[in-house]
Amino acid sequence: MVDGDAADSGRRTWLYVLGLAWAFFGLVTIVDGRPLLGCAQLVLGVANLAAARSERFAAFADGPLSKRK
């Protein structure tokens, strides 16, 4: 079984990889002539990188869409 620190490290690594991939393909899409889709992909890339850097943003991103009472 994987302990918490190793799991967090692996998760963070994949968030960096996905964030950089989204950013790269966003730039390629913008150059290709579809700026709106490219900007959306850049936003996803920035969100992934922010989740990898900040525990607070990761908790926000992993939270439920609506809070139930």
Burial (CB count within 10 angstroms: exposed 0-12, middle 13-18, buried 19+), residue 68: exposed
Q: Where are the domains of the chain?
A: 11-57
Cβ atoms of 40 and 22 within 8 Å: the answer is: no
Q: What is the pLDDT of residue 68?
A: 58
Segments in the chain forming alpha helices (H): 4-31, 35-53, 55-62
**How far from the centroid of its chain's Cα atoms is residue 8's Cα?**
14
- Mind listing the pLDDT tens digit for each residue in 34-66? 999 999 999 999 999 988 888 887 777 777 777
pTM score of the predicted model? 0.73
As to burial, measured by CB atoms within 10 angstroms (0-12 exposed, 13-18 middle, 19+ buried), residue 51 is buried
Q: What is the pLDDT of residue 1?
A: 47
pLDDT in tens, 17-37: 999 999 999 999 999 999 999
8 vs 13, more confident: 13
